[in-house]
Chains A and B, each alone.
Chain A
Amino acid sequence: MTVRQACFCLGILLGDGGVARADDGITFVSQGGSYQAAQTQAILDPVARQLGISIDQDSAPDAWAEIRTQTATGKAFWDVVDMPAKDCARGGARGMIAPLDYAAIPNARDLPDDYKTPYSVAYEFYSSVLAYNTDKYGTAPPHDWADFWDVKKFPGTRALRDNPLATIEAALLADGVPPDRLYPLDLDRAFRKLEQIKPYITVWWTSGAQAAQLLADGEVDMEMAWSNRVSAVQHEGAPVGFTWNQGLLQYTSLCILKVSPHIATATRFVDAAIGRRVQADLTRYTDNGPGNPRAYEIGAIAPARMRDLPNTPDNARLQALISTEWWSSPAGDEAMRRWLTFVQH
């Protein structure tokens, strides 16, 4: 009996629940919290009205394992997922994510090519930036990854993310690799550099909320953290600063589950959700940047607000864009495998 058959039998035994939904509705999945609440106001509710569809919501900080399960059972509870572009791409390669019908997504023409894969379009931007405690470093804070690695000039506790994505890039930048020459990533060189800083890392964080808390509580003096999380604790008055310099720009993407029974509606949703207007509105509720760069051009975002957003032309110039293509390639998988050995040693 195959897994699929086993799950099918289980489904019959337990009754067919959950998927009864009108055909003009989809289930949208993001990462929860204030981030998803912002999307509800700026994008999900307006798009639902505009298209005349209903949008159910679910949230999963790590959607990958769940999508794999839904694919294996052939039973989709989700239709559209907001997750790292890398996961969309590797999901596509494994038949878990449906290829996008770009003819039905005219808004995708606003996006440059490196924001798109056959399976996903960029949805929103954030950045892995160097953040620090302003009480600790005063007027001479660290301003690039070489400073982060310089434990003599900048004593203090440090944190990095327990994940190679962006961390590898930061190590190479610290080692002097120019931002435009990062890819393909030199893993040997990056891990050598990481071994140097490893004894000085107090925490390897696993969630954005944890990273923000570490900085706000003064548990660490400097760390790599997501820009929108850092600015959130800044707004709360924590003595925290960060620099866009050598930030690592990342975006999450929208993609559609291959087993989704609502692919046509889901495609219409994806198109509407990356429209300039709703994308610009997103920045009214979060410090995430729009996935559609043309959102900056319609005059809906105040110039003063631009400073806080990761991918405005001015801020993007200081940063490097993480390569989805590289991270979803076999070399990216290799980096993941080596990471486990690196952190556990």
Chain B
Amino acid sequence: MAAAPSRPLRAEALLAASLLTPALLLVALLLLVPLLWLVWQSVRQDGGFTLAHYARLFTDPAYGATFLQTFRISAIVTLACVVLGFPVAWAAAESGPTLRTLILALVVLPLWTSVLVRAYAWIIVLQRTGLVNSALEALGVIHRPVILVNNEFGTIVATTHILMPFVVLPLYTTIRTIPREVLAAAASLGGTPAFVFTRVYLPLSLPGLLSGASLVCVLSLGFYITPELLGGGRTYTVSMLIARNIALYDEWGAASSVSVALLACIFLIFFLAGRIVPIDRIVGTR
């Protein structure tokens, strides 16, 4: 154990602690207390202790199906964001200052538009009489409108669009830090472009890729607006289950247990991602 800190040092630590107190209190009051209350609610029924709310997650097929659908959507959205976001991040990182600014602006600008507006815009684009169907019909590709929205597909398209920046930005930052010399060295030693990409470029961009992917994965697990507006009532996600349990079915215990279960899943994802890349890199503190 270290020696007791000298007097001025301890005073400094005390000052730092007192300066932090309001912030810590705020976090405790607004985050931890409601969270503990949530856990408390999830094991209460009619004034007694119960695990019935958790048992329902396994016994009621609707709950299992909801979790399954949520994870499926999240997985597809994450994959789509990575596959579509990688070339964008790559292009931004490799191009000159003007083009780079343009690309980054196009990535960031939608973030400043309300999610609600973007969700409604997707309805207009994808619906039976929407832009995509009209264009495909005019080109003779299809003869009857295809159902592109009010289902899981529409939900995935809009969610992917909304969450894409969360992959592109960390990925771009990581790619920018890859030393060009390493790539040149790999190539000069006889590596084909494909070899250089898979063995050097991709591994070096992996931290950004993983942090972006885990952010998207976690955010999409809790997404509410896109499945609610674009899911057509046939896409039930965990967030909707929570909302319905509170507003419609009046089951706060069930809503709480579902929230706690989702939170546990999210911690698990961060934990697994953290095994590969340190957690402080995922949340961007380093």
Task: Collect the chain A residues with CB atoms within 8 Å of residue B244's CB.
Answer: 340
A219 near B65: Cβ-Cβ < 8 Å: no
Task: Collect the chain B residues with CB atoms within 8 Å of residue A206's CB.
Answer: 228, 233
Offer 5 A-B interface pairs, CB within 8 angstroms, sorted by A: A157-B128, A219-B149, A336-B248, A337-B249, A344-B62
On B, residues with C-beta under 8 Å from A are: 29, 37, 60-62, 65-66, 127-129, 147, 149-150, 228-229, 232-234, 236, 244, 246-250
Task: Decide if A35 is an interface residue (CB 8 Å cutoff).
Answer: no
Task: Decide if A245 is an interface residue (CB 8 Å cutoff).
Answer: no
> Given that A62-B247, A64-B247, A65-B247 are known contacts, is A219 also in contact with B129, CB under 8 Å in the complex?
yes
> Given that A157-B128, A217-B129, A343-B233 are known contacts, is A163 also in contact with B248, CB under 8 Å in the complex?
yes
Q: How many residues of A contact B (CB 8 A)?
A: 27
**Closest B residue, CB atoms, query A341:** B62
A285 to chain B, nearest CB (A): 27
Separation of A340 and B246 alpha carbons in the complex (Å) = 13
> Given that A64-B247, A340-B249 are known contacts, is A202 also in contact with B232, CB under 8 Å in the complex?
yes
Separation of A9 and B180 alpha carbons in the complex (Å) = 59
Separation of A345 and B63 alpha carbons in the complex (Å) = 10
Q: How does the 8 Å CB contact mask read for A320-345 relative to B, with 1 for contact and 0 for none?
A: 00000000000000001100110111
Task: Decide if A204 is an interface residue (CB 8 Å cutoff).
Answer: yes
A218 near B129: Cβ-Cβ < 8 Å: yes
B246 near A65: Cβ-Cβ < 8 Å: yes
Task: Decide if A8 is an interface residue (CB 8 Å cutoff).
Answer: no
When the two chains form the complex, which single residue of A64, A204, A219 contacts B127, counting CB atoms closer than 8 Å?
A: A219
A341 near B61: Cβ-Cβ < 8 Å: yes
B33 to chain A, nearest CB (A): 8
B187 to chain A, nearest CB (A): 53
A71 to chain B, nearest CB (A): 13
Task: Collect the chain B residues with CB atoms within 8 Å of residue A162's CB.
Answer: 233
B119 to chain A, nearest CB (A): 12
Q: Would you list the 8 A-B pairs with minimal beta carbon distance, nearest first? A: A204-B233, A344-B62, A203-B232, A162-B233, A341-B62, A203-B150, A62-B247, A218-B129
A336 near B233: Cβ-Cβ < 8 Å: no
B55 to chain A, nearest CB (A): 15
A228 to chain B, nearest CB (A): 21
On A, residues with C-beta under 8 Å from B are: 6, 10, 13, 62, 64-65, 68, 157, 162-163, 201-206, 210, 217-219, 336-337, 340-341, 343-345
When the two chains form the complex, which single residue of B65, B66, B233 contacts A203, counting CB atoms closer than 8 Å?
A: B233
> Given that A202-B147, A218-B129 are known contacts, is A345 also in contact with B247, CB under 8 Å in the complex?
no
Separation of A206 and B224 alpha carbons in the complex (Å) = 14
Task: Collect the chain A residues with CB atoms within 8 Å of residue B129's CB.
Answer: 217-219
Separation of A219 and B150 alpha carbons in the complex (Å) = 9
**Closest B residue, CB atoms, query A214:** B150
Separation of A241 and B244 alpha carbons in the complex (Å) = 31
Separation of A324 and B109 alpha carbons in the complex (Å) = 49
B127 near A344: Cβ-Cβ < 8 Å: no
Task: Collect the chain A residues with CB atoms within 8 Å of residue B228's CB.
Answer: 206
B60 near A341: Cβ-Cβ < 8 Å: yes
19 additional A-B pairs beyond A202-B150, A343-B233, A344-B61, beta carbons within 8 Å, are A6-B37, A65-B247, A68-B250, A162-B233, A203-B150, A203-B232, A206-B228, A206-B233, A218-B128, A219-B129, A219-B150, A336-B248, A337-B249, A340-B62, A340-B244, A341-B62, A343-B236, A344-B66, A344-B236
Task: Collect the chain A residues with CB atoms within 8 Å of residue B247's CB.
Answer: 62, 64-65
Task: Collect the chain A residues with CB atoms within 8 Å of residue B250's CB.
Answer: 64, 68
Separation of A337 and B29 alpha carbons in the complex (Å) = 34
Task: Collect the chain A residues with CB atoms within 8 Å of residue B232's CB.
Answer: 202-204
Separation of A345 and B234 alpha carbons in the complex (Å) = 9
Separation of A202 and B234 alpha carbons in the complex (Å) = 8
A223 to chain B, nearest CB (A): 12
Task: Collect the chain A residues with CB atoms within 8 Å of residue B236's CB.
Answer: 343-344
Task: Collect the chain B residues with CB atoms within 8 Å of residue A64's CB.
Answer: 247, 250
Separation of A99 and B285 alpha carbons in the complex (Å) = 56
Separation of A204 and B66 alpha carbons in the complex (Å) = 16
B246 near A345: Cβ-Cβ < 8 Å: no
B128 near A345: Cβ-Cβ < 8 Å: no
B128 near A219: Cβ-Cβ < 8 Å: yes
Task: Collect the chain B residues with CB atoms within 8 Å of residue A219's CB.
Answer: 127-129, 149-150
Task: Collect the chain A residues with CB atoms within 8 Å of residue B147's CB.
Answer: 157, 202
Separation of A115 and B232 alpha carbons in the complex (Å) = 33
Separation of A25 and B228 alpha carbons in the complex (Å) = 37
B212 to chain A, nearest CB (A): 31
Task: Collect the chain B residues with CB atoms within 8 Å of residue A13's CB.
Answer: 29
Task: Collect the chain A residues with CB atoms within 8 Å of residue B234's CB.
Answer: 201, 203-204, 343
A163 to chain B, nearest CB (A): 7
B21 to chain A, nearest CB (A): 15
Task: Collect the chain A residues with CB atoms within 8 Å of residue B60's CB.
Answer: 341
**Closest B residue, CB atoms, query A202:** B150
Task: Collect the chain B residues with CB atoms within 8 Å of residue A345's CB.
Answer: 61-62, 65
Task: Collect the chain B residues with CB atoms within 8 Å of residue A163's CB.
Answer: 248
Task: Collect the chain B residues with CB atoms within 8 Å of residue A343's CB.
Answer: 233-234, 236
A127 to chain B, nearest CB (A): 21
**Closest A residue, CB atoms, query B41:** A3
